Structure 1
Amino acid sequence: MTEILYQILYPAMMKKPFFILAMLFAVQLSSVRAAASENYHSINLPSTNIQLEFQGYFSESQKQMLKGWVVEMAQSVTSIYGEFPLKRARVKLVRSYSWFEPVPWGEIQRWRSSRVVLHVNPSFSYEQIRSDWTAVHELSHLLLPYVGDSDSWFSEGLASYYQNIARAKSGLLTEQEAFQKLFHGFRRGEKNARNKPVQLSLASKKRGNTMRIYWSGAAYFLNVDINLRKLSNNQQSLDSVLRLYRDCCLPNHRVTSLGSVISKLDELSKTEVFSSEYKKIIDSKQFPDYRESFAYLGISNGWRGVKLNKQSAFIARRNSLLKAD
C-alpha cells in the first residue's frame, strides 16, 4: 500500500516533500495500529473481563478457536466457587511451533497487574488443546497472591490441585480421571522425596525437587479441603474459603508473605486448618500423607489405577468435592 502511494505521490513530493512525507507516515502508522488492534480482544464474562493478547502469527480462524478455549478454561476456574478470581484479567497467547504438546509452556507474570502467558500451537486440534492442563493450572494461580519463590510449593500446589479438581467440576475430566491424575502426581512427588530427602521449607532452594514442590503443595490443599469439610459437616470447603478471600483481599498483585496468607485463611475459615496442616509438613522430609483424605473419599489404589468405592456415603463426598458452584 505504501509503495503504491509512493509511486503515485513521488512527483508531488518534489514540490511539497514534507507534506507528502507526513501523509505517507500517517498511512503507515494507521496500518500498524490496525494490525496491532487485531491482536487485542476484550472478552466479557459474567464475573470478569479478560483482556486477550495474541503474539506471533495466528490466522483469524485460529484466533476465534483460541478465544473459545480461553473462555472455556476461565469458566473451569469459575466453577471453583462461582466467580472468576479477578474482575479484570489479562491473558497473552504466544505462538508455539512445538509438536510435542499443544501448550508446552505457561506462566503467570505479576507486576502492577497479573498476566497469564500461555504458549500454544494452534495447529493442534481444539480437543487436543482443550484437554491440556496448563491453562487451568496458570489461571488457578489467580486464586491467591504470590507468596515468593522460597514458598513456591504453596502457589504451585494450589494450581496443581485445581488443575484436576476444577477441570472435573467443569466437565473437562471425569471423576475417575481427576483422582487418577492426582494420584499419579502424588506418586511422582513421593518418588522425588525418597530420592532427594530434604525439608519442604528448603526444597525450592535446591535443584531437582520440582515434583516434590508441586505435588506436596497439592497434597496439602487436598488435606486442607477435606479437613474443612469434616469440621463443618460439609458446610465449608477450600472453595468457600477462597471465595471469602476473593471478596476481602483480591486483587493483590504484590508478593505477599506466606504467613500472612495462611493467617488470613485461618481467620476467614474460623479454624486453624491451614496453619495446622502447614506445621505438619513444612519441616518434614517426607511427602505429605494424603491417604487418609483419599480414604475419606473412598479412593484406594487398584490394579489399574485408583479405585472408587461405590457406597453411597463415599459417592456423596466425592460429588460434593467435584460439584461446580
Structure 2
Amino acid sequence: MRCWWGLRTVVMCACLALLWAGCVGCAQDGHRGWRGERIVASQSFGEGGATIQVDFAAGDLDLSQADVVSWIHASAHSVAVFYGRFPVARARVVIEPIAGDSDSIHGTTWGGVGGFPAVTRVRLGQHVTKDALKDDWVMTHEFVHTALPDLPDDQHWMEEGLATYVEPIARAGTGRLTEERVWAEFLHEMHNGEPERGDRGLNETQTWGRTYWGGAMFCLMADVSIRRETNDRKGLKDALRAVVASGGGIDKDWPLSRVLQIGDRATGTSVLTDMYAKWSERPVPVDLVALWKELGVSAGPNNGVVFDAKAPLAAVRQSISASR
C-alpha cells in the first residue's frame, strides 16, 4: 500500500486497508465501493496495454465525470509513456467526493485488491476545479506506485522516493509539465532529503524528508551515475522499465535486491546495488550545490530556474527530463 501523505499515517493506512478488505465483496457488484459506499457510475478506458476502471462513489462534485476521467487518463498516459507501457494489466480508481472541500486531492494505492493488480482510492474535494486537476501531481504519483513491487516497511523510502522523482519527469514526457518546472522542483525541494544529525541511513531514518526527498535524491544520483557510466546511453528509466517488463508491479512481493539486480542488468552497471549498500544503513550526504552546477541548473526569478547549456552534465540533464 502506498500513501502519498507519508509515514505519519502508516497506522491509519493499515486500518483503512482492513476496512477495504472487508468491503471487497460488496465492491465487486458494481454498486458498492470504499467502506460500502454506493457506486453511482463506472467507466473504463484503455491505456498502455492496460484497462483502467474508474468508479465514482456517491457524492457531489463541481467537476463533470468526464473531467475527472480525462485527468485520470492523462495521468495514466504519462506513466505509460515513461515506462513504455502501463505497469499493470488492470487498475481500478475509486473517486470519493469530499463534501464542501475546495482543494483536497488525496490518493492511496494498494496492490492485489478485489481481483485488480492495483487499486487507487482518491478523495477529491467537491469544489476542486478543472485547472487544479490540470496542475495536479497526485494521480500521476499514485500510478507510478503501481510500477514497483510491495517492499518491506524499512524500504518505504524507495516506494515514495521513486514516485516523487518519476512523477514530474513523467508529466514532462507528455507535455503536462515543462522542463523548467521539473528542475525547479528538484532544485528547491531536493535538499529536504539530506541526512541530518542522528541519521542512520535510509532504511532506519523514516522521517518525511528522508522518505520522500531522500528517496528521490537516491534516484537522482542513481540516474546521473548510470548516465555517467554509460556515456548517457542508459538511465534510471531503462532500469525501471526492465522491472516492469519482468512483471514487477505493486501486486508482487519482491525483495528490493531483486528489483535492483534487474535494473543493474538492464543498464549494464552495478550502480543501484552499490548505492543501496552505502545509502541504506548510513547517511550519505550529497553536495547538491556542486551537482546543480554540473547539471547546469541555477535559481531563477519567481522560484524558477536558469539552464547553462555549457555545463559539464547539461546533456545528462536534458536526457533525464527529455520529452520522450
Q: TM-score, normalised by structure 1?
A: 0.78
Distance 1:196 1:183 in 2: 25
Q: CA deviation at 1:172?
A: 2.0
Q: CA deviation at 1:218?
A: 0.3
Q: Is the 1:189–1:212 Cα contact (8 Å) retained in structure 2? A: yes
> Partner residue of 2:159?
155
Aligned residues: 288
> Partner residue of 1:83?
85
Q: CA deviation at 1:46?
A: 4.3
Distance 2:275 2:260 in 1: 10
Q: CA deviation at 1:79?
A: 2.6
SS in 1 for 2:196: helix
Query: Matches of residues 155-194 of structure 1 in structure 2 within 5 Å?
Result: 155-190=159-194, 193-194=195-196
Q: Is the 2:39–2:57 Cα contact (8 Å) retained in structure 1? A: no
Gaps of 5+ in 2: 1-28
Q: CA RMSD in A?
A: 2.9
CA-to-aligned-CA distance 1:223-251 (integer Å, 9 cap, x gap) = 11112222222221111222222222244
Query: Matches of residues 285-296 of structure 1 in structure 2 within 5 Å?
Result: 285-291=283-289, 293-296=291-294
The share of aligned pairs that are identical, in percent, is 25
SS in 1 for 2:306: strand
Q: Which of 44, 47, 52 matches 1:45?
A: 47
Q: CA deviation at 1:311?
A: 3.0
> Partner residue of 1:224?
222
CA-to-aligned-CA distance 1:256-305 (integer Å, 9 cap, x gap) = 22222222222332210101121232222354445554344212356855
The range that moved more, 301-310 or 257-266, is 301-310
Query: Matches of residues 1-325 of structure 1 in structure 2 within 5 Å?
Result: 38-58=40-60, 62-97=64-99, 99=101, 101-103=103-105, 105-112=106-113, 113-190=117-194, 193-194=195-196, 197-204=199-206, 209-251=207-249, 253-291=251-289, 293-301=291-299, 306-311=305-310, 316-325=315-324
Query: In structure 2, do the counterparts of structure 1 residues 270 and 310 end up closer, same or farther at CA, with 3 Å as the change threshold?
Result: closer
Query: In structure 2, do the counterparts of structure 1 residues 229 and 117 end up closer, same or farther at CA, with 3 Å as the change threshold?
Result: same
Larger of the two Rg values belongs to structure: 1
Distance 1:158 1:98 in 2: 33
Query: In structure 2, do the counterparts of structure 1 residues 98 and 213 end up closer, same or farther at CA, with 3 Å as the change threshold?
Result: farther
Distance 1:49 1:126 in 2: 24
Query: In structure 2, do the counterparts of structure 1 residues 94 and 37 end up closer, same or farther at CA, with 3 Å as the change threshold?
Result: closer
Query: In structure 2, do the counterparts of structure 1 residues 72 and 78 end up closer, same or farther at CA, with 3 Å as the change threshold?
Result: same
Q: Is the 1:95–1:120 Cα contact (8 Å) retained in structure 2? A: yes
Name the amino acid aligned to 1:57: G
Query: In structure 2, do the counterparts of structure 1 residues 315 and 115 end up closer, same or farther at CA, with 3 Å as the change threshold?
Result: same
SS in 2 for 1:283: coil
Q: Which has the higher helix share?
A: 1
